[in-house]
Structures are given as structure tokens and as C-alpha cells.
Structure 1
Amino acid sequence: MTCTPLPATFRLLDAYVGWDEAPAGSEPGTGGVVGFDDPAGIRLAHRGPAPEGPTRARLLPWFPDPRLAPGCGPCAWYLLVPGERLLLRRDACTGAFTPVWPPARLPGGPREPVSVAARGHRLAVVGTDRVSVWRREGAQLAGVIRVRRPRRAAMAPGDEVLIACQGSTDLRRFDSTGGFRGVLRTGARGEVVGLRTGPGRTVWLLTDDGTRLSVHRGGPGRPFRTATVEELAAQLPPSTLTSATEDGFCLDEEGPDGPETRCHTWRGLPRDAGPPATDVYVTGGSYVTTLIDSGIPRCRWHRVRVDADVPAGTSVRTEIVVTEDGHHEESDWQAAAPGVGDFLVDQPPGRFLRLRLRLSGDGGATPVVHRIRLDFPRTTSADLLPPAFRQDPAADDFTERFLSLFDATFAELDRAIERYPALLDPAGVPDRVLPWLAGLLGLSFEAGWDARTRRALLAAAPELYRRRGTPWALREAVRIVFGVAPVVDEQAADRRWARLRAAPGGAGPDRGLGSVRLFGRSASRFRVGGSALGAAPLRAFGDPDADPLTAHAHRFRVLLPDGSADVRALRRLVERQAPAHTVGSVRTGGAGFVVGSRSTVGVDTAFVPLPVPVLGGSLRLNRDGVLRPGPRGSRRGVGVGVVSAVGVHTQVT
């Protein structure tokens, strides 16, 4: 649809293709940017020893400072004051920290405590050479575990204690009395700076390898693997700890007037919250590419597009330089206007291009660059103009840049048109788009249907519409939604009012006009003085003369096993799929007669007809007898698959 004569060549820079960053030290100013392996894009680095994150502040609710440990209850906390060998416990009612053991000392504990851990009513204090374990929130000393250079501990289910030692990420397992249970190999790299246990004996590790913090998940009999913060949050509820600095820590709790923040010093005394921390990211960074080769001598580079999210307080500045031999000066760089992420290349022709991004922020946010696209060589709709319009070099340059504005607009329209078939593909659109796509096709979804069921209905919609009103379409719709194939029983086939041809296979006498009544009154329903006992059904509704058209014609039943579907939802589906002139009903069977469970046909089960009804005896109408024979005579018995369906409306006795 565009007017460009040839398809343009382009080069992408992202995490999938590669960012082609220049080697360290080859270009001045490179640094402060991370995320080259992240599909989300590159961004400013975090402050501190873990520039690529996640940050320590983000993980505090799950891995608190080693001096803190959540206790039993949402407001209970233990606070270790290592310099004074104090262990404090926060009162859940008053919110004040009080000593666990008077006179505020650690009885039988380590001389130099470094961390504390708690789970329920169990408590552990980690020192430089031992771990002391208490029960009943410190009232009873359970045991002392002597281990070399312990750093972190966690209380696991089954009266087990996990200990991480300095210089290793393997965990040592002990019981509360100090009995050794083995070593849990994690295979993680770095130093363990956080240790937690979760449901199902799951163990969560937080490690620091000097460049980034990593969360690992595993357990006994399960290998450890790297996990995301989202997985951690889904498995472990976060604590109320929100910040921890050198001045103290803060807890966000529910107060009488709503959520409130309470801050304390490291001695357990109240303090003011202070201003929120804003120095999460570095304030500036740059990214420089290596020389990008077009493979075309004297190439005229066309366009640069930077796909980025730029929050308030941040900026992204793009600069490029084009060279033929790889050499350039600082004054040769072309800088785009601030805030512009799509611009034309205004450089002399050259085979190589180098790009430089300058990212800046206020410390509290960072821009994220998702992708960069470089278009070359320059191809515009000006190439289709007569040569007379391109004789003047200055006018030709202006014409190309002017027409590039329209070419860019047409290219966006082309991309939308090219993607249009994908918008109608139920397998490729997001889940939230499925109701909109169903509205285009005239479909409606039940609230309880999952995305998989909705996609299957949309994919089958063309064939369902083409064969709508047929038993196949109804069965297919029920199968897609409820996962079970129903039996569609058309009641008109159960009542053969008259037949004007020989029986199938030549069996039986021929039926001709005059030998059988068409829609005879006495055969359609029981009439006093006109029907023989046992030869006509009993009915007490409708017009008898309209029985052939109303009693059975245009009526059907959908039969399903019991518990296989929601009956009300099934009725709504049948009403939407049935033709307008038909009347459908839904019936689900009970436990019924299950062949192969306790009975075997032909061994201990017999299908026999019901006894002959005798009026005046023990016969009760509509309960113990049938006052008419089956379609094959009064002595044929029950025909499985002909008139009766085992487990649905047939009782085997």
C-alpha cells in the first residue's frame, strides 16, 4: 500500500537480537545502564552492590534485616540489638518493644549474636559460633547447635532448623536439640543474605553474588532454581516491614483510623518516619553501540526509532554518527531533540553507524528502552518522482525529508492492516480481547468459562454457524464447553405413527395405505371407549388432535451423565443453540446402572419385560407398570439403544 519502490532494510537492537554494546573502555561515558539480557529493555542501574536488582528494599517484606524476625501474629516482631546482646519482643497490643529475658540478657546464648529467626512460638538466635533454639517464645531453651561461622537461620516444619554458614550456600539441617540431619545442596552462587521457609517444606534463598540479588526456590528432594519476586509474593505473604536504614526501620500496619506507618530505632524506640527514600537508581547512565555495519558502501542511513517508556522526571537522549571507515570525532555526533524518539538521519553517507543513548533520572524512577530500530538505506516515495524534481540537491533533500513524513504515516497504516488478521485469531489475542472478538461473531460467554473454553468456541464458531440447528452442532457446542459428548434424543423418532414401506432388511410385512391408520386417535393417547388397555399412552395435556404435531415433533432431549455439567448453564446453552421452532429439554442421569462395575451383561444381569399389568391388583399407575407395549410388541422386552438408554430412563431389575 505504501509508495516506496523497494522494501526497506532495517536493523533491530533489543534483548532478542542483541544490543551490540561497545566493549568496556572503548568509548568514554559507557556505564550506569543494565538490563541487556532483560526482554523488558535496558534501564538505569540500581544503587548499591546489586545494580541489576531486584533491590534489597523491594525484598524486605519477605527477607527482613537480620536483626529483625516476624513472630507469631501480624504485629509481633523480634528485634536483636547485637552490640548490647539484647533481644526485644514487640507487644502486639501496645506496639512497644520489651526485653524477652530479664535482666535483658541472652541466657546461654551466643556471645556475639548476628541474626534472629522465628516461626510460630519457636525462636533461634544466631551467633558467631553457635545457634540457640528456644520454644514457647523464649521461655524454654530447646538446645544449642554448635556450627562453624553461622550467618542465617530459619525454622522449618517438623522441629527442624536450617542454618546457612559464611562462605557457602549449602544449608545444614538440625533438629531443635542440635541433632544433625544432613546437608541441603542449593547450587546457588554468592552469599546467603536471606533465608525463609514456606508451605510444603519449600525453602527460599536470597543470595548476593556481588553484582545482583537473586531469589532461589527449592527444598528437600527438589532442586533449587532461580525464582522471580512475583513467584515469591504468590507463595509467601509479605510482612509489614517496608523500610530499613541505618536510622531504623518502619512497619505499615492497620490502625484504628486506617493504614499507618510506625517507625522505630534499632533499640526499639519510636521515631519519626522521615522523608521517603528516593535514591533507588543512579541519576545518569549511557549506552554506546559498536560500529553497526550496513554492508553497503556509502550507505545513506534513513531513520532511527527508539521505543522507550519515559516516566516523569526522567529522559532519554539519542545521538548517532555515520562514518565510512570507522573513525569519527566528537563534533560529528548528531543529537536528536530532547524527548524525540523518531527522527531522520542527517549525516553524510557511510557504511557504519554508531548510536549513543544518554539516560537520566531523579533517582526514584528510570526510563526503560525496549527496542531501537535503524532503517537503511534511505528509500522514500521521492524515488518515484520524475528526475526533474530531483535535480537541485538542496531541494531534493527537502523533498525526501518532507515525503518521509507521509511515508511514516502510511507505514503505520500498513502495519495495522497487516496485523488485522491476527486480531481475529482466537489463539493469538490476549484473554481480555476474547469477549470483544465474540461480540463480532454474535457469541456470548458465561461468566464461569475459562479462556481455553472461550478460545475453542471462537475457533469452532464458523463450523458451528454453518451447521447450526443440527444435532451435530448442538453436541459439539456441549462438548467444547463441558468436555463431555451428550446424547441428543429426537422424540419424533420414538413414535412411528405410520410407515409406508417394508421393514429394514426386508423383515416384517409390508405396510400399505389402508392397512394402518395415519395418526390414529386411539393410538396417540388413551381414550375411554376407543383404546385398548395397554395399547395407548396416558396423557393429560394438550389437544389430542394435534398430538402428531405437538407431542413429539420439534421436540428433543439432551441427555448427560449426572454431575458432568451445570444443569442451568447447560439449559442456557441449549436454548441458544436450538432452532427457534424446536423445544429442547435437558436431563441428567443418576448413578444408574454401570456395566463393568458390579454387573456383567450376560452373566448375572437379565433384561426382561415388565410383568403384565393387572388392574385391581398391586398395580399403581405411572409407577409399577406400563399400559402399552413397546414398539416391537408386548413380549419383546427392553431394547437397549432403540427406545431405552441404560442409566438415563431405564430401570434394570
Structure 2
Amino acid sequence: MTCAPGPATFRLLDAYVGWDQDQQNVERIVGFTDPAGIRLAHSGSSPEGPTRSQLLPWFPDRRLAPGCQPCAWYLLAGARLTRRDECAGGWKPVWSRACDPGLLRDPISVAARGHRVAVVDSGRVLVWRNEGEQLAGVIRLGKASLAALAPDDEVLVARDGRTDLARFSSDGRWLGALPTGADGRVVGIRSGPCRSIWLLSEDNTGFHIHVSESGGKFNTATLGQLAAAIPPSSLVSAGDEGFCLTEPGHDGPVTSCYTWQGEPRPEEPPMPQQYERTGSMVTTKIDSGISRCRWHRVRVDAQVPTGTAVTVQIVVSEDDNYADSDWQTAPPGTTDFLIDQPPGRFLTLRLGMSGDGSATPVVSRIRLDFPRVTSADLLPPAYRQDPVADDFTERFLSLFDATMAEIDRVIERYPALLDPAGVPDRALPWLAGLLGLSFEAGWDARTRRALLKAAPALYRRRGTPWAIEEAARIVFGVTPVINELATDRRWAHTGGKGPGLGAVRLFGRSASRFRIGGSALGAAPLRAFGNPDSDPITEHAYRFRVLLPAGSADEKALRRLVERQAPAHTVGSVRTGGVGFVVGSRSTVGVDTAFVPLPPPVLGGLRLNRDGVIRPGPRGPRRGVSVGVVSAVGVHTQMS
């Protein structure tokens, strides 16, 4: 540990504690409530971002809709619906002149999902299947502006002047309204994986993204969350003259531009700048609570892309009196420096950002350390008699103190890296490697964290029935039943207190294995190893069966799990349940079997009810199993 003589305190500037910004001295910097950090504002009408051009790959112009293939697109070219099927092809009408149904009058938006297509046209929504070959339904809804196709054959419709979404089936049945709670007007709808719905709204402050997971309440989301959930399309720009698509080619990305009529056009020039070129902010006076405080250090956590820069200036004062020449400016590119200012209770910080317009620096946190505490305080007083030498010694030893502090911080945080509940998802495989665990690709983060937490107990009891049951419960969410076959088969017992093995033989010698002079040829198995008297034991010794209800787990994944957890000298089998008993095998009711009603009787295509009567055949009614005749128990035979 470091040898600093006393504890030092610090003050954080971030979105959680607060940036203490002076609102009158903030210029072109936004994101003071964003945990990611503050940054340069976007140029244009949406300074907080994201901009409309950034959202185009996920929320295209309403006249465009991506199809089911990577390069397939639908375009409303006036009153025609066109489709682009091939990566290098043009736009062709969905219906030829001979097959055009003539339903489109004044279409305003198009949506597609899989092989379904929907068009909003003159207060109605037309829905087709098979990419326009079959009209599925017509939804009549006034002021309809946008439509989106969701899973389960559902259609979502946005209306002008309203923020809720109307829900219909593809054939036009009303399914209810879905409140969104969004401010402004809805300008984009997308359906994502796991029944999620993504919404884009616009108001006076800019664009806002909302998401509803599995039909739940809509919450505000970020562009990063949208990009992680839905892959972006190839649309890169859209304007009054047309739009452009950038798609992979043989020699790299290829950009194709078209007019809104589907005609090719020259490639657009590069997009203009997205961010402001400069921005600044000044904090209010930050109070240390210590009179004549010697402020120590400033640390800035920032991401500075190429072409951008961050500058930091500070001034320390005991009151409001300081001159412009009193500001201390950190060297360019420095994000960690010592404060070289006279003692004072208050500190004021000025932060500047700059860039070329294509990128912005992001400052996530600023840390101010005070008062000054260094290892120089442990030196004899003789080393600190000269004020100039004392200042140099403190600054010199601060270099080593900073290095030792980083080592201390790593040591302090190391136990947290071994906590399965606290580490990031991407660190879970690394943590599992320390414990000798291997994860399958289909396991989510919750399952992986649960396995890591239970790893000590699983290792201590590995190979026991409890460990196998617990591992299956964590991975598949259901507790299996484990049958040890040797304990279930009492071969040489006639009762609970009857004679045991060795006292009486309940199986014949010929049925065990082939014996010369004692077995009928062809009636006994040929085995040439071991003692024949131990066959009833070795038949099921060291063997067990794992039983799970039907549909509760993937049988192949469960078998791999059992192979890893089972002892090396055992043989395990896996069986998932069905809908009835398995003849010739042990069955556990409620685990691998289930009682279900019989299917309704059907005779010659006619379903029989309780009033139907079937007369017996020429051989009379059958009351039991007939020897030599195939019989189905419970259908035309009964147990009596």
C-alpha cells in the first residue's frame, strides 16, 4: 500500500454526482445527464441528438422499407409500389400492368416484414402476403400515417395527432390500442427481436427513441441500444433529391443512389459536418470546505478521437477575486496533472472541446483530489525547510505516489473481479476459465452468473446426484429426477424382508448367459467375461437415468451436461417425457409421462360423440388381449 500519511478526499464531476456547470457559461456542449458523458452538440435543430441522418439505417424514409433479403427494398414511386430484389438490379413494379389490382390511390408509407407488405393509402392500410401476390386484408383507419408489421401476424398503425399505436391483425381485426407515452409525433416504427417494438418520435427538442419489451411499457432508449438490438440497413442518406444505399461488393462497399422514382442518379457528395467545431463550459465555484486548501490533482476520463481535443483550465481562490491571468492551463493532450495554484477554498474549472465536425470528444468524468497529501509528509522536517525545494519534492514524489495508487486500486478492485454478480457480461468467460468451466453458446448471462456462483458447491459434490440435479436446474430451470438403476432392480428379493442375493435364485442359469450343458442353444446370450452369477448386478450397476418433463430442456444439451457432471465410472442416459407410458421401461408419472385425454374417435372421417354406438364385429366383442394378434391396450382391449 502507499505510504501517504493521511486520507485524501476528492470531488467528482459526472452525470451521477453532477457537473456543477454554470448555465450561463455553457456553449455548444450537451449530455450533462447522460451517463456516457458530455460532448459537443450536434449542429442543426437537434443538438442533443441523435440526428435524423444517424437514425436512417433503422428508421428510413416512410416511402422506403427493407425487405426480407439483405439487398431487397420496397419503394413507393408515386402511386406505384416497386421492389428491388437483386443487389445490382434496379427497381421493378411489384405488379405488372396486367396483374395490377389498381388499389393504390395516394400511398404515403410502406412497411415490410418477411413476406408481408403493408401500404398506408388514403385513410386505409392494405396488407399483402407473399410479397404482394395475395391481399390479406384492408384496415380502414382515418388519419393513418405509418404502419409496421410485427410478429404473430400483427399490424401496428400510427395516426396523425395521436401517440398511441392501433393494433390489428393482417385480415383487419381490431386488437386494441398500445399507449406509448411519447411526446410529439410518431415518425418511425420498427419491430425487433423478442417481440420488442421500437418507436421514433419528434418534438421541439429533437428526436427520441422509445422501446417496449415483450408488450410492456415504453421506455426511453439510446441509439446504442437500438444498434445492439437491430442490425442497421444499407440506407446511408435520404433527401429531397433521392436516397443512397451502401452495400458490400466484390472490391469493397458500393454506394448506389436513386431518385424517388427509382431512377439511378449520381452519388451524393460527403455528408456535411454533424457536430459543432468548438464548445466550452465553466463550473461554478467548487467548495472544498477547507480554508486555504491546497488542491492536489485533476484527472479527466475522456475519449478523444482523431481530429478532436480536450483542454482543461483551473483557478483556485479563497473568494471571488481572481484575474484572467490566474488560470492554469493543462498541457495539450494531458488528462492527468497536478494543480500548481496558491492555496484557496474554491476551485473553478473551465473545459474546452474542439473537433473537425465529423467526431466529438466525450468526457465521462473529472476527478479533483484535495487536499494535497504526498509521501513527502513522511520526510524529516529538514527536507521541507526551503519552500521552493519543498514544492519540488512534493511534485516529484507525487509521480511515484500516483503509480503506487494505481497498483493499490488494482489490488482493491481485484476481489470485485471475482464476483459473478458484479463483473460485466464480457468478463464472464474469463472468470469461468479461472474455475475450469466452459459455457455453451446458447447460455445467457443470467445462467452463466448462476453457474459461477454455484461452482464451489458443484465442485465439492461433483459426481453426486445432487450436483447433477443442481446443474440441470441452473441451466434449464427445472429439477430432473435421477434414477439409479441398481437400486431400483431387486433381482434376488421376493419382498422387503425376504431372502437376499445368494440365498435364492430368481432367475435361471440359461437366462443369464450361455453355459455348456445348462442352456438351450439360442435361448441365452453369449458372454465370455466375468462371473455369470453377478450378471443381475452388473446389468444395472453404475448406471443411472436422468428424467425430465417433455419440452423442458434440449435433450442434446442435457446429455452434454450429464456427460460433464457424471463420474467417469458411470454410464448415464437421458430421457425427456412424452404423453404416455413407455412399455418395458420405468416411468415416473409427472416427470417423463403425463395423463392426457384420448383423441376423439373418428370413423371413416366422421367424428363420434357420446351418442354414437359401434356394434361388435363377426367375432363378437373383445374383452382382453388376444394371443398372436396385434392389440392396442385401451383401444380395443381392456385390462381385466
Asked if these proteins are the same fold (TM beyond 0.5), I'd say: yes
Q: Tell me which residue corresponds to 1:352.
A: 346
**Which residue of structure 1 aligns with residue 618 of structure 2?**
none
The gaps in structure 2 that reach 5 residues or longer are 582-586, 597-625, 629-638
| Residue in structure 1 matching 2:330, options 329, 336, 349 | 336
Distance 1:439 1:202 in 2: 34
Superposition deviation, residue 362 in structure 1: 0.7
Return 151-160 or 318-327, whichever deviates more.
151-160
Distance 2:465 2:117 in 1: 64
Change (3 A) 1:529 1:562: farther
Q: Name the counterpart of 2:2.
A: 2
CA distance in 2, matches of 1:16, 1:589: 50
Residues 1:46 and 2:63 aligned together: no
Residue 77 of structure 1: which of 59, 75, 78 is its match?
A: 75
Residue matched to 1:406: 400
Distance in 1 of aligned mates of 2:193 and 2:469: 43
**Alignment map for 1:637-648 (pairs within 5 Å):** none
- Does structure 1 conserve the Cα–Cα contact (< 8 Å) formed by 2:317 and 2:345? yes
Aligned runs of 1:209-608 on 2, under 5 Å? 209-216=203-210, 225-229=219-223, 240-245=234-239, 248-253=242-247, 259-265=253-259, 270-482=264-476, 483-487=478-482, 489=484, 491=486, 526=509, 540=527, 542-544=529-531, 547=534, 551=538, 555-561=542-548, 573-574=561-562, 576-579=564-567, 582-586=569-573, 588=575, 591-592=580-581, 593=587, 595=589
Q: Would the aligned equivalents of 2:118 and 2:127 in 1 still touch at CA under 8 Å?
A: yes
Q: Does the aligned pair in 1 maintain the 2:451–2:471 contact within 8 Å?
A: yes
C-alpha displacement at 1:204, in angstroms?
5.7
How much has 1:328 moved relative to structure 2? 2.0
Partner residue in 2 for 1:32: 28
Name the CA distance, whole Å, in 2 between partners of 1:202 and 1:189.
20
CA distance in 2, matches of 1:217, 1:469: 45
SS in 2 for 1:422: helix
CA RMSD after TM alignment: 5.3
Q: Deviations over 1:233-287 (max 9, x none)?
A: 6777755432124554322356787752222456765432243214010111012
Q: Deviations over 1:160-203 (max 9, x none)?
A: 895644x7656799999x99999986543234544678899987
| Amino acid of the structure 2 residue aligned with 1:300 | R
Letter aligned with residue 487 of structure 1: I
- Alpha carbons of structure 1 residues 114 and 325: separation in structure 2 relative to 1, 3 Å: farther
Contact 1:114/1:151 (CA < 8 Å) preserved in 2? Answer: no
Cα distance change on mapping 1:445 and 1:546 into 2, 3 Å: farther
1:485-526 superposed Cα distances (whole Å, 9 cap, x missing partner): 44252738967999xxxx99xx789xxxxxx9x968989983
CA distance in 2, matches of 1:174, 1:530: 81
| Partner secondary structure for residue 22 of structure 2 | coil
Give the superposition deviation at 1:23.
Answer: 2.6
TM-score (norm 2): 0.71
DSSP-derived class of the 1:50 partner: coil
CA contact (8 A) 1:90 1:96 kept: yes
Q: Does the CA-based 8 Å contact 1:390-1:396 persist in structure 2?
A: yes
For residues 289 and 552 of structure 1, the distance between their equivalents in structure 2, rounded to whole angstroms, comes to: 81
SS at match of 2:454: helix
Residue deviations 1:127-169 (CA, integer Å, cap 9, x gap): xxx76888999xx9x999997xx7944477999895644x765
Partner of 2:636: none
Q: Distance in 2 between matches of 1:486 and 1:151?
A: 55
Q: Look up the SS of the partner of 2:348 in the other structure.
A: strand
Structure 1 pair 36/541, CA: closer, same or farther in 2 (3 Å)?
Answer: farther
Change (3 A) 1:595 1:161: closer
The size of the alignment, in residue pairs, is: 561
Deviation at 1:425, TM superposition (A): 1.6
Query: Within 1, Cα distance between the matches of 2:305 and 2:468?
Result: 52
CA–CA distance in 2 between the matches of 1:275 and 1:162? Answer: 35
More off after superposition, 295-304 vs 519-528: 519-528
The equivalent of 1:20 in structure 2 is 20
Aligned-pair CA distance for 1:352: 0.4
Report if the CA contact (8 A) 1:240-1:252 is conserved: yes
* Structure 1 position 472, deviation (Å): 3.8
| Counterparts of 2:185 and 2:332, CA distance in 1 | 43
8 Å CA contact 1:66, 1:114 repeated in 2: no
Q: Compute the displacement of 1:301 (Å).
A: 0.3
Cα 1:530–1:589 change in 2 (3 A) is farther
The corresponding residue for 1:95 is 90
Separation in structure 1 between the aligned mates of residue 174 and residue 502 of structure 2, nearest angstrom: 90
2:415 is paired with a residue whose SS is helix
Separation of aligned partners in 2, 1:211 and 1:565: 49
CA gap of 1:378–1:589, structure 2 versus 1, over 3 A, is closer
Gaps of 5+ in 1: 81-85, 510-515, 600-617, 621-651
CA 1:153 to 1:474, structure 2 compared with 1: closer, same or farther past 3 Å? closer
Displacement, 1:222?
7.2
Judged with a 3 Å threshold, the aligned counterparts in structure 2 of structure 1 residues 272 and 598 are, in CA distance, closer, same or farther, namely closer
Q: Is the 8 A contact 2:189 2:198 kept in 1?
A: yes
Deviations 1:299-337 (A, max 9, x none): 000000000000000000111111101232221110000
**In structure 2, do the counterparts of structure 1 residues 284 and 546 end up closer, same or farther at CA, with 3 Å as the change threshold?**
farther
For the residues of structure 2 that align with 1:571 and 1:348, how far apart are their CA atoms? 71
Over 3 Å counting, the alpha-carbon distance change for 1:294 and 1:59 in structure 2 is: same
Q: CA contact under 8 A between 1:97 and 1:269: conserved in structure 2?
A: no
| Partners of 1:466 and 1:99 in 2: CA distance | 65
Distance in 2, Cα, partners of 1:32 & 1:215: 22
What secondary structure does 1:188 align onto? coil
Higher alpha-carbon deviation: 403-412 or 56-65: 56-65
Structure 2 counterpart of 1:41, one-letter code: G
Aligned to 1:641: none
SS for the counterpart of 2:404 is helix
**Counterparts of 1:351 and 1:558 in 2: how far apart (Å)?**
74
Structure 1 302/170 Cα, relative in aligned 2: closer, same or farther at 3 Å?
Answer: same
AA at the equivalent of 1:33: I
Distance in structure 1 (CA, Å) of the matches to 2:436 and 2:450? 15
In the aligned structure 2, how far is the partner of 1:75 from the partner of 1:175? 23
Change in CA separation of 1:233 and 1:576 when aligned onto 2, cut-off 3 Å: closer
Q: Which residue of 2 aligns with 1:11?
A: 11
Amino acid at match of 1:32: R
- AA at the equivalent of 2:449: R
Per the alignment, residue 645 of structure 1 pairs with none
Partner of 2:617: none
Amino acid at match of 1:77: L
Bigger radius of gyration: 1
Q: Which aligned pairs between 1:117-132 and structure 2 lie closer than 5 A?
A: 117=110, 123-124=119-120
Q: Report percent identity of matched pairs.
A: 54
1: CA distance between counterparts of 2:225 and 2:233? 16
**Distance of 2:194 and 2:439 partners within structure 1:** 37
